[in-house]
Chains A and B, each alone.
Chain A
Amino acid sequence: MNTEATPMSPASDVDRREFLRQSSTATLLASLAGGALTRLTGSAADPAPPEKKQTAPVSIGVIGCGSWGRDTIKTLAQLINAEVMGVSDHYEAFLRRGKESAPKAEGYKDYRQMLENKSIKAVVVATPTHQHKQVVLDALAAGKHVYCEAPLASTVDDARDIIRASRQHFAQVFQPGLQHRSDPQRHFLLQFLRSGAAGRLFKARSQWHKKDSWRRTSPNPEREKELNWRLDSGLSIGLAGEVSVQHIDNASWFLKEEPLAIQGYGSIQLWNDGREVPDNVHLIIEYPQRVLLAHEACLGTSYDSDHETYYGAESAVLLRKNKAWMFRESDAPLLGWEVYARKDKDTFFDELGIALVANATKLAAQGDKPVEEAPYANTPLYYALEAFLHNVHTISDGVADFTENFDATDKKAMKEYLDSLHKALMPSAAPLEGYRATVLAIVANQAALKNQRVTIPKELLQVS
C-alpha cells in the first residue's frame, strides 16, 4: 500500500509536550525503559510484545544477485515470514551464488519469467540503480509487492515514473529501501530528538568511510564494464547518491524538514584510474533556518567508519551502528533518567557518553541481559524486510477481506480502506519518502561533480 506521508512511523507524531510529559512522570527513564520506542506497541503504557507470531511465509523473489542482493537473500533467510522461492540475475555466476544462498529458490536468468510465477507474491529489486525503473514497473504490473533498494533511480524522471506506478498499484506494497525508517533503534532516537530532549537541533554531521576502489574485475570486458556501473558517471549517481542517500534521508527524517540546497565538493584522490566518479565527497546540506548537515563519503580510508551526530543546544547525540550516546552540555538541565543510565567514560577520549538504550531498565530488571547490550541487534536491512513482509501480509489480507465483503470494482472505496490500515503497518519508508531521498541523492551527486551549490525547488520534491 502506498501511503504517501509518514503515517507508518508511530514516533513521527510525537511532540515535545507529550514526550516531556512522559519524561516528567517517572522521568524519561520510563520511556527509555518501558518501550516508548516499541514501534509495534506504540506507547510506553502498552504491554510488552509477546513472541512474534509466525504468520504464513511470504513467497518472495530477489532480482539482482550481486553482493547486496545476496546480503538480502541471507537476511530473508533469517526471517521466519519469508520464503525465497526465486532468484534472478542475467549473469550466470551471480545467479549461481544467489541460488546457493537460497536452496529452495528457482533461478531465472530473465526476471520477467520469474514475474510470471504466480506463487511468488513479492520481489526485492536489488539490481544496479539505473535498472530499477523497468524492473519495478514490470513487477508492479505483474501484481507483485515490491521492495526496491534506495536510491530508487538514477534520474528524477525514472523515480517519478516509479512513484506514479506505485500509486496506480495501490493494492500492492511498494517500499523503498530506506532501511533506517524501519530500524527500531532509530525510532527510539527519533522520539528522543523530536521531543526536544537534546534541545533545539541546529546542526548535524555524518560520514561514511570505507577503503574500497569500487572497481570490479572480470575476464569478460563487456561484463567488467557492466560490473563497474558505479564508476560510469552516465549511469551512476556516485558516492553522493549510492551511499549518502541513507544519511541524507535520515537527517531529513530526524529534522522533519526537506533540504533547500546542497553544496558539494567531489574529487578523485586515491583511485585515479580513469574514472569520472569522485572517490571523495563532501556535502553541506542546507535545511530551513540554516540548519546544516555536513556529510562526507570517502572510498580512500576506512578510518572511523560511519556514524552520525546531531547537535542540540543541550546535548549532542552520536549514532554508530545500532548504538547511540548522548553528550550533555554542562549547562543542560538534568533530565533525571541519565542518572541511572550507563556511562561510557573511556570510549570518546575525555567525553562522557551517556548510553541511549531503548528498554534499558527493562533489560536490567530481567537480569538476563547486560544493560549495555543494544536491544535491537539486527541490521537495518533485517528490520526493513521484516516490515515489508508484515505489511505485505496486512495489505494482502485487507484486499481479500474487502473483495470478499464488498464490491471489488469500487476501487476508490478499496483504496480508502487500505489507507485506513496504515496504523496496522510496521514502520517503513513511504513511496514519496523514497522519491525525495532519491532526488536529494541525485542533486547531491550533481553538486559534488560540479563543486557547486545546487538549490532544490520545492516542486522537485513533489510527484503530481
Chain B
Amino acid sequence: MKHSNLRSCVPHALAAFLLAGGLAASAQSLTLYKAQSSGSSVKIDGSSTIHNWTVEGKIIGGQFEVDPAFPLGGTPPAGKVNAKAKATIPVRSLKSGKATMDDVMQEHMKAKEFPKIDYELVGMNLKDSPKSASDPLMFDAQGKLTISGVTRTNAMLVTCDRADVSKLKFKSVANLKMTDYGISPPAPNIALGLIKTGDDIKVTIEWVTVLPKPDGDK
C-alpha cells in the first residue's frame, strides 16, 4: 500500500517540480537592470531667434532587461538581442535654470496632462561584434517614444558602456522635431513677437542602470 502510494506520488511530485522549475526559469529569463539613483542625465539643446538654449534633467527612471545568454561581459556577435527596456523622464524635472522658461516649456508640453516622457524598446540589434570585451557595445534601437501624449516610433543608435557588467551606461543622441509630438515651438508674446523657438531639438541621453542589490544587502 505504501509502495503503491509512493509510486503514484512520484510522477506528480516530479511534474510539480518541473513545472515550478519551468516557471522559475521563465521568470528569470531576462536579467533585470534598474535605473540607478544617480549618474543619469538628459540634455535637450534647441535654438531660438535670439539664442540657443539648453534644458537638462537628471531623472531617468525605468528598467532594462536582457537575455542572460547575451554575453554582456564578452564579445557577442552582431545581430538581434533579446532585450526589453522602459524609461521615464518627468517633464517637470527638466530644468533650464530659468524658472520662467521652465514654465513656458511645461505649458507647451502639456505637462499637467502628460507629466512624463516615456520610452519603450521594441527592438534591439547589436551593430557589430566588439573587438574586445571592454569595448562599448553599439546597438540600433527601435522604440516607441511618447511625448505630450503623442507616440511615435523612434530609431536611434545606442552605445552601452559595460566596463562593469553590474552597471550598464547607455548613451544616445536623438534629433527630434517638437511638432512631430504636437508641441508648438514656443513664441513668447514679447519683444514684438520676434522671438521664435526652433522646431528642431537635439536630445542627449546618458542612462545608468544597475543590477538590483539582493534583499538584505542594502
Contact = CB atoms under 8 A, between A and B. Distances in A.
Interface of A: 40-42, 45-50, 52-53, 390, 397-398, 401-402, 404-407, 409-410, 413-414, 416-417, 420-421, 423-424, 426
B93 A42 contact: no
A169 to B, nearest CB: 19
A40 B37 contact: no
B58 interface: yes
A407 B107 CA distance: 29
9 contacts: A40-B99, A45-B50, A45-B51, A47-B101, A47-B195, A48-B190, A405-B61, A417-B38, A417-B58
B98 A41 contact: yes
Given A40-B98, A404-B61, A409 B50 contact: no
Contact of B37 (A49, A398, A402, A424): A402
A224 B48 CA distance: 63
B170 to A, nearest CB: 16
Contacts of B129: none
Top-5 shortest CB links A-B = A405-B61, A413-B37, A49-B100, A423-B97, A406-B37
Contacts of B95: 421, 423-424
Q: Which of B35, B92, B93, B188 has the most CB of A within 10 A?
A: B93
B125 to A, nearest CB: 28
Contact of B102 (A398, A409, A424): A424
Nearest to A41: B98
B218 A401 contact: no
Contact of B50 (A47, A410, A413, A420): A47
Given A53-B107, A404-B61, A405-B35, A46 B101 contact: yes
A424 B57 CA distance: 11
Given A48-B191, A50-B188, A406-B59, 5 more contacts: A53-B103, A390-B99, A401-B59, A420-B58, A423-B97
B190 A405 contact: no
B104 interface: yes
A401 B94 CA distance: 11
A407 B98 CA distance: 28
B54 to A, nearest CB: 11
Contacts of B92: 397, 401
Contacts of B82: none
A390 B99 CA distance: 9
A368 to B, nearest CB: 14
Nearest to A10: B97
A50 B58 CA distance: 26
Nearest to B104: A50
B100 A50 contact: yes
A414 B37 contact: yes
Nearest to B89: A405
Interface in B79-136: 88, 90, 92-93, 95, 97-104, 107
Contacts of A47: 48, 50, 101, 188, 190-191, 195
Contacts of A401: 59, 90, 92-93
A349 to B, nearest CB: 40
A251 B190 CA distance: 36
A42 B54 CA distance: 13
Given A45-B50, A48-B190, A405 B59 contact: yes
A49 B188 CA distance: 9
B26 interface: no
A50 B99 contact: no
Contacts of A46: 51, 98, 101
Nearest to A416: B38
Interface in B136-187: none
B212 to A, nearest CB: 9
A420 B94 CA distance: 11
Contacts of A416: 38
Nearest to A42: B98
B189 interface: yes
B59 A402 contact: yes
Contacts of B62: 405
Contacts of A414: 37
Interface string B44-65: 0000101100000011111000
A409 B58 CA distance: 17
